[in-house]
Each structure stands twice: as C-alpha cells, then as structure tokens.
Amino acid sequence: MELAFDSFVLVAATADLADEPAARDHADAVEFRMDMGTDPLAALSGYGGRLPLLVTNRPTWEGGDAAPGSDRVEALERAVEHEAVAAVDVELAALDPDAAVTDPGGADSRPDDRADPAAVRDLVDRARATDTAVVVSTHDFEGTPDRDRLQALLSAAGECGDVAKLAVTADGPGDVLDVLAATWAATAAGETVATMAMGEAGRHSRAVAPLYGSRIGYAPVDPAAATAPGQYDLATLARLVDRLGNG
C-alpha cells in the first residue's frame, strides 16, 4: 500500500487495528499508535484491513506512551517491513536533538533517542528502502512558537522526511493565524507539510489548515479515544473538510 501525500489525507488515529472497518467510510488511512497498543507487532502481523497504515510509536517525551528504553525504534523498523505500512512517523527531535521545541518530560526523559540518533536515521533509511513514506513530526504542548520558528521547524523536518508535521498548542486566534501562515509559506516554497493547532482554541485549524496546504488530518473513530487535545471525531472532520472543499 502507498501514501503519496500529494493531496489531503484523512487519517483515523487508533491504538486498536480492529477499528479499521469503522474508519473505511471516512478515512484514507489509519494511524496506528503502537505506543498505546497491546502487543502492536502482533497486531500488525494479523492486520488484513483495506486502509494503508501510518505507524507511530510516540515516546513519552513527545506526548506518547513509549517509555525510554522501550526499543520503540526497533519496533518501528520491524513495522515498516509490513506490506500494509505505507508511512512511519519519526520525531524531529529524535533525528536532531537540537531541533526540539520543548521537553515535556525534561532532558532526562529521552535518553534512548538522544543517545543514538543514528539509530533513528537508520530507521528512516530502512523506511525509504521499503518505499515507506516518512513523516517527521514535532509537537509543542505548551504553546505556539513565533512564526519564524514555526517555518524553521517545518523546513528542518522537511529536510529529513517526506512530510513535515507540526502540532502546537494555541492560546487564541493569533496562534492559529501563525500556524496557517507558516503552513502557506512552506507550501508555497514547495514543502509537503501537515499542521494543526491543538487545544480548543486551535480546534478549527484541523478543518481549515488543508486550505493552506496541510496534507494530513488526524481524527479518532471514537470521540472518546482522541489521541491529541482538540481533535474532532472522524465523521465530523470528514464532513467539515468536504464542505470546505479540501482535498
């Protein structure tokens, strides 16, 4: 399966691949949150769904459940060998520790990737060898950096992967405007990006950002199972995106 990200892709986020049939009516792909799942590699081995998978194994230091020392990078390397896995998410700060926006858990909470970014680069190389797209992501759970910093982060992530993903936390409309402006500037420069402002103040960005060039939208199949603050449920986001003419 393939994901080119040359147009908008609506992704159903879940830790349970059994949700895939319920996502088919609205989603283009499924984000499998390996860090939140039970025996994720076994779940992948048994996957027979129709939708391509974007695999994410998010560490605790960037908002996920994969603890340091959990061999999460090795698990991702094994995951990209699966024929249904079309894309893999890798944190920008894991590839380049100096590129971190914030340290939600503190510097000591990320020794696994800080100690060996070469292992993460090897993962990227393996993904490319298996024709798996690479989404390079960065998250800020505290606020929204200024517009120049947003653009710099998108550019840095774009240099490392096929899609630069940026998720920040908005305190008000001005933050959302900065995200949209950075999205448009990156898109106009020929970069492939996925952007969103988390939190209630930024919620509408998930429907609006594709108009400015964002290529990925994330939503849970079950509203009670949101994987990030401010997410719409899948059916709602699909409807909003369609009405706004994205895609």
The full set of domain ranges for the chain reads: 9-244
Give the mean model confidence (pLDDT) for residues 73-85.
Answer: 95
What pLDDT shows up at residue 226?
67
- Tell me what percent of the residues of the chain surpass a pLDDT of 90: 76
pTM: 0.91
Q: Each residue of 49-59: pLDDT tens digit? A: 999 999 999 99
Do the beta carbons of residue 104 and residue 62 sit within 8 Å? Answer: yes
3-state DSSP helix/strand/coil % of the chain, to nearest 5: 45, 20, 35
Q: Is 82 among the catalytic positions?
A: no
Among 26, 82, 139, 204, which one carries the catalytic annotation? 139
The CATH number corresponding to 9-244 among 2.30.30.60, 3.20.20.70, 3.40.1160.10, 3.40.50.2300 equals: 3.20.20.70
- Check residue 106 and give its pLDDT: 43
The per-residue pLDDT of the chain, averaged, comes to 90
Active-site entry in 26, 82, 165, 204: 165
Edge-to-edge strand ranges of the sheet holding 163-169: 193-198, 163-169, 133-139, 85-91, 53-56, 29-33, 9-14, 216-220
- pLDDT tens column, 147-203: 999 999 999 999 999 999 999 999 999 999 999 999 999 999 999 999 999 999 999
Does residue 100 have a pLDDT over 80? no
**pLDDT at residue 244, rounded to an integer:** 92
Distance CA 34, CA 218 (A): 16
Residue 165 annotated to the active site: yes
Helix axes 173-188, 147-160, angle to 10 degrees: 40
